[in-house]
Structure 1
Amino acid sequence: MRRSSIKIMAQLIGLVKPLIHIMIAAVLLGVAGFICAIGVTVLPAFAIADVLGYEYIEWKIAIALIIVAAVLRGLLHYGEQACNHYIAFKLLALIRHKVFTALRKLAPAKMEGKKKGELIAVLTSDIELLEVFYAHTISPIAIAILTSAIMLAVLSTFGAVPVVVAAIGYICVGVIIPLMVGKKGAGTGMSYRNDFAELNSVVFDNLRGIDEILQYGYGKESYDRIKEGEVKLNCSSKKLKLLEGRQKAITGFAIMLFTFIMLLTCFATYKNGIMGIDETLISTVIMTASFGPVTALSNLSNNLTQTLAAGERVLSVLEEEPQVYDVTDKEIAEFGEVTVDNLSFGYDEEKILQDINFRFEKGKITGILGKSGCGKSTLLKLLMRFWEAESGSITINERNLNDINTNQLRDMQSYVTQETWIFNDTIKDNIAVAKPKASLEEIKKAAEKAGLGGFIANLPKGYDTVTGELGEGLSGGERQRIGIARAFLHNSPMMLLDEPTSNLDALHESYIMDSLASAAEEKTVVLVSHRESTMGIADKVFEMKRERSS
């Protein structure tokens, strides 16, 4: 269910609290700046009135004030924008930090189902678009309200008629028109942000899969998918531009209409002897000049639809509840035998595991053999407490996983995934992910156990060789061995290995199996594979059947 624009704005404004003093300064500078801008237009009217014999301000003083107001307008506007952008960029950094923190809590259970392209859009373009809100939305609203109130106070010295006309004009241009346009554009703005994220995701997928696209001649189909997304995005963009054009036309017409109404009503009042011709002239000029703040407010609706849509997407990430919460403040647990009792788990309506039972003995290698899709990887993720079991339990040394501090549980386990993620960094730092403060000697020892020693020694820069983005400089087997080296470096009492040799040749597989056999004397090793040859080092092998149901 989508939240209202007012609620989105209120939640975004709530983030300004730490910088409220700077926001107040921006508003005050903005009000003073608009007063100066209005003065540049209105003071000539006072000068003319003085020439015509009406006693307001001497025309020479009025001209001097015009020059001063013009200079101050520039300085005050600069100060206002500096404050607003300082707030915006400070808050964008804060929001990015909050989003990354939220994503960390959501991972990995809720992250696996999310499209990476959409997440990138939230982290980049959506958050960046909030700069418009913080730098060009919050203070203009306050400035428009305060400046309009001051102008109404000035007009009240000429009588009730100018005040009523001006108030109706301000409300119409600054409130009614933006609300009408915003209401019509809210759905279009969200559609645009969603279409943008979808196209971003498609492009991201195609870039990641460019080798397969070229190999199998899938280029036309890939291009068609991108083209389809581009057409949808352009359609949403055209709708937004059409709304923007209509809003500008309606706003311009409303300003001219209310200026004309002010002239007619004041002139009628003058004819009835209530106002003087000088008051009629000055009231009309003030009306014309004072629409600046509310016009700025009205123009906000042009980008506000997209901004609020981006804000809602960001807030949705911040508010999304993780499926698994970190456990803290529990007593320190001792590692021991790992037991799985009557464990059941499923994704949505699909049942993956049903009443399974395992016992992983300390100092033993336990193999889990099964075809793809039978739930082997899911079991490892449940052992890591990446997901919560639907029923049954997992215990370590007779202590439920849910009663073990998450940080301690991570220290107890080393997890080698099927696809090792490689960062665009040196080989040394990629291995050191498992232990950031590890010495070079520790890293080399782990690399040797993973069969990487000879390979790294032949590289021009050795351990300081940069792997490239996504490890493009490494083969699949080399990436997998870096993942295994991380597990050895982490040196935890339990190793969870998900198809650890699927990309390795027979020589390297044999080498790593020997290393694992040696390590198992002190560790609990869970070895998952669909290849029977991998199970040669296992002390005990369980076979899992494919029994998925919905």
Structure 2
Amino acid sequence: MKPLTILRRLIGQVRSMTGWMVLAILLGVAGFLAAILIPVLAGMALFEGGPVLLWIMGLCAVLRGVLRYGEQACNHYIAFRLLARIRDLVFGKLRALAPAKLEGRRKGDLISLITSDVELLEVFYAHTISPVAIALIVSLIFVAWQTSLNPWLGVAAAGSYAFVGVILPWMQSRSAAALGKTYREESGRLTAVVLETIRGQMELRQYGAQERRLQDVQARTAKLAETEDRLKKLQGNAQGTAGVAVILCAAGLLLLGGWLHRGGLLSARDLVISFLVQISSFGPVIALSNLGTGLSQTLGAGERILSLLDESPATPDIAGPADDLSDMALENVSFAYESCQTPVLENMSLQLPASGILGVCGPSGCGKSTLVRLLMRFWDPRSGQVTAEGRDLRNLPTATLRQAQAFVTQDTDLFHATIAENLCIAKPDATREELEAACRKAAIDDFIRTLPQGYDTMVGELGSTLSGGERQRLGLARAFLREGQFLFLDEPTSNLDSLNEGIILQAIDRQMQGKTVVLITHRKSTLGFADEILQMHPVHSDHSDRNAGLVTEKKRRLNSAMQKGIRG
């Protein structure tokens, strides 16, 4: 993405705050005029004298502080309001992209994008837009002033402002823009590696890989520091070059004024005033000269954010009111993930039972989890269609699917909140009685009651204070609380012992009477609860039917003796 495109799109966010931006620019222009007038009035006092000029100088000094404060207050108000809006846009886009477009993206890099990258835009909104406008207005005012003294002085002043405020930043930005983007990308990767290292401490200790991992982190840190050092050198060189350019331009204008004075075209008073005006009025354009390198990281961060906002979701939400569902099917569905073009499903057709438990089994990689994700419309098929009530899911209101379905995976994600708050994700208005009933069905209520705060106990980040089995049972409790028509379970009892597995499966059997359950499992004991079994095979296996056009195998329930044994 070109720098001008990034700038244009970032500026577009300011439209709703145009009034505040105009106020900031007016205050900034007035503040710089007050600051520039102080040395100019001092020069005039050499020729004219009088206490009035001294009083005006004092007033300008006070106004400079007040106006500068007002300008900065407006700029930062604009910046913080816009950062809040951009964060809202980014989080909204992440919700729209999940899960398909976020699959495989490193969490640490996303954290860097939504935190430090967004924060860097504060430099642009608080310290770039209004300074550019202020520099332009102030420069035009003093070019006109110099022109009133002598046209040649006006031409020289315009050339000086253009060189320091436009040409130098443009030349410097060409080398800094790519480096700024590289720095932001490297910073995001380093954040991802550090996050993975913290989470993987147990494995690193177990296999004695801590030192190797530390060396990798140190190498990445050194590389980032090297990139930052190159950026700092560019910024230092830019500031030094701007300082030299200001001195040379002021000296050149002084020489020009001396030549005009010798020719009788400029009085001594005007010569002094011209020089003081010029040397004092470089403040706004010096601020611009620093933007050439100072904005490099901001442009890199802006490009990363805009690229995310430009990304289209794999399964766009369909607006519309929620409705009931009782029928779902796959019709000649083929699917392959973008990261691997090898098909996972090929020409698969399947009619879900109107009620009862469908057990799905098969070797790893045969598409069991993919099947459920297509039914949830987390992905859309490459060909064929997934239907509900005879309608393609791509034309069905998303709210209808979300209301009718619940999904429990092997790894339940919990938030740093109380147990009750984590359960209420499935049903925000659930009563405490409903929470307790759902947890009893998931065989977790007794455990919760042993905790010091019961349902108000904090579970820690990602449920770190709970075991894998406890997290999984809370995930099942969420699903029971949802009370949808379809319950999709992907290895729901993989972290449970046989007794708890039997209790939960019986609860599923009772809870889902008249509803549809799709149960993915490798355990034969779990399949024993299924009314029908779907045996899946990898697409490229030698099995004759693979996973295309499979017919479910009808079966009987477990014999009564086994049922009684589990109940016991």
Q: Which residue of 2 aligns with 1:277?
A: 268
Secondary structure class of the residue paired with 2:332: strand
Q: CA deviation at 1:403?
A: 2.4
Contact 2:493/2:501 (<8 A) preserved = yes
Q: Which residue of 1 aligns with 2:380?
A: 388
Please list, as runs of the form range in 1=range in 2, the aligned pairs for 1:115-194 lying within 5 A after superposition.
Answer: 115-194=106-185
Q: CA deviation at 1:49?
A: 2.2
Secondary structure class of the residue paired with 1:433: coil
Contact 1:497/1:527 (<8 A) preserved = yes
Supply the AA of the counterpart residue of 2:4: I
Q: CA deviation at 1:519?
A: 2.3
Distance 2:540 2:103 in 1: 19
1:244 aligns with one of 230, 235, 240: 235
Secondary structure class of the residue paired with 2:105: coil
Q: Which residue of 2 aligns with 1:352?
A: 344
> Would you say 1:342 and 2:340 are equivalent positions?
no
2:429 aligns with one of 416, 437, 461: 437
Q: Which residue of 2 aligns with 1:418?
A: 410
1:199 aligns with one of 171, 190, 194: 190
| More deviation, 350-359/424-433 | 350-359
Q: CA deviation at 1:371?
A: 1.9
> Would you say 1:112 and 2:110 are equivalent positions?
no
Supply the AA of the counterpart residue of 1:173: V
Distance 2:385 2:23 in 1: 57
TM-score by length of 2: 0.93
Secondary structure class of the residue paired with 2:224: helix
Deviations 1:458-515 (A, max 9, x none): 1111111110111111000000111111000000010000110111111111111111
Deviations 1:202-221 (A, max 9, x none): 01111121222222222012
Deviations 1:161-214 (A, max 9, x none): 111111111001000111111111000000000010000010111112122222
Distance 1:16 1:103 in 2: 23
Q: Which residue of 1 aligns with 2:297?
A: 306
Distance 1:226 1:371 in 2: 37
Q: CA deviation at 1:356?
A: 1.5
Q: Which residue of 2 aligns with 1:34?
A: 32
Q: Which residue of 2 aligns with 1:476?
A: 468
Deviations 1:81-135 (A, max 9, x none): 0000000111111110111111111111101121111110111000011111110
Distance 1:66 1:302 in 2: 35
Distance 1:72 1:88 in 2: 24
Q: CA deviation at 1:301?
A: 2.6
Deviations 1:233-270 (A, max 9, x none): 11110110110111011101100101110011111111
Q: Which residue of 2 aligns with 1:290?
A: 281
| More deviation, 300-309/128-137 | 300-309
Contact 1:133/1:307 (<8 A) preserved = yes
Distance 2:24 2:325 in 1: 57
Distance 1:101 1:383 in 2: 23
Structure 1: state its 5+ residue gaps: 51-57
2:254 aligns with one of 263, 266, 269: 263
Deviations 1:268-299 (A, max 9, x none): 11111111122111111111001000001112
Supply the AA of the counterpart residue of 1:336: S
Secondary structure class of the residue paired with 1:327: coil
Supply the AA of the counterpart residue of 1:22: W
Q: Which residue of 1 aligns with 2:557?
A: none
Q: Which residue of 2 aligns with 1:60?
A: 51
Q: CA deviation at 1:337?
A: 2.8
Runs of 4+ residues over 6 Å off in structure 1: none
Contact 1:92/1:127 (<8 A) preserved = yes
2:535 aligns with one of 522, 526, 543: 543
Distance 1:172 1:224 in 2: 46
From the superposition, tell whether residues 548 and 322 of structure 1 become closer, same or farther in structure 2 (CA, over 3 Å).
farther
Q: CA deviation at 1:333?
A: 4.8
Distance 2:367 2:350 in 1: 14
Secondary structure class of the residue paired with 2:232: helix
Deviations 1:402-448 (A, max 9, x none): 22210111111011122110111111111111001111111111101
Distance 1:41 1:298 in 2: 23
Distance 2:519 2:84 in 1: 42
Q: Which residue of 1 aligns with 2:545?
A: none
Supply the AA of the counterpart residue of 2:188: A
Distance 1:403 1:139 in 2: 46
Q: Which residue of 1 aligns with 2:550?
A: none
Please list, as runs of the form range in 1=range in 2, the aligned pairs for 1:382-531 lying within 5 A after superposition.
Answer: 382-531=374-523
Q: CA deviation at 1:546?
A: 2.3
Distance 1:139 1:403 in 2: 46
Structure 2: state its 5+ residue gaps: 542-568
Q: CA deviation at 1:547?
A: 2.8
Q: CA deviation at 1:398?
A: 2.1
Contact 1:372/1:530 (<8 A) preserved = no
Q: Which residue of 1 aligns with 2:548?
A: none
Deviations 1:507-530 (A, max 9, x none): 111111111111232210000112
Contact 1:350/1:548 (<8 A) preserved = no
Supply the AA of the counterpart residue of 1:207: I
Distance 1:387 1:323 in 2: 7
Contact 1:102/1:317 (<8 A) preserved = yes
Contact 1:333/1:404 (<8 A) preserved = no
TM-score by length of 1: 0.96
Q: Which residue of 1 aligns with 2:556?
A: none
| More deviation, 248-257/333-342 | 333-342
Distance 2:540 2:122 in 1: 47
Distance 2:241 2:260 in 1: 28
Supply the AA of the counterpart residue of 2:102: M
Distance 2:385 2:293 in 1: 54
Identity %, equivalent residues: 45
Contact 1:334/1:397 (<8 A) preserved = no
Secondary structure class of the residue paired with 1:347: coil
Distance 1:372 1:329 in 2: 37
Contact 2:335/2:381 (<8 A) preserved = yes
Supply the AA of the counterpart residue of 1:288: I
Q: CA deviation at 1:548?
A: 5.5
Distance 2:131 2:323 in 1: 56
Distance 1:448 1:31 in 2: 69
Supply the AA of the counterpart residue of 1:61: V
Secondary structure class of the residue paired with 2:377: coil
Supply the AA of the counterpart residue of 1:65: I
Distance 2:519 2:440 in 1: 20
Q: Which residue of 1 aligns with 2:549?
A: none
Q: CA deviation at 1:539?
A: 0.6
Q: Which residue of 2 aligns with 1:53?
A: none
Supply the AA of the counterpart residue of 2:23: A
Q: CA deviation at 1:153?
A: 1.4
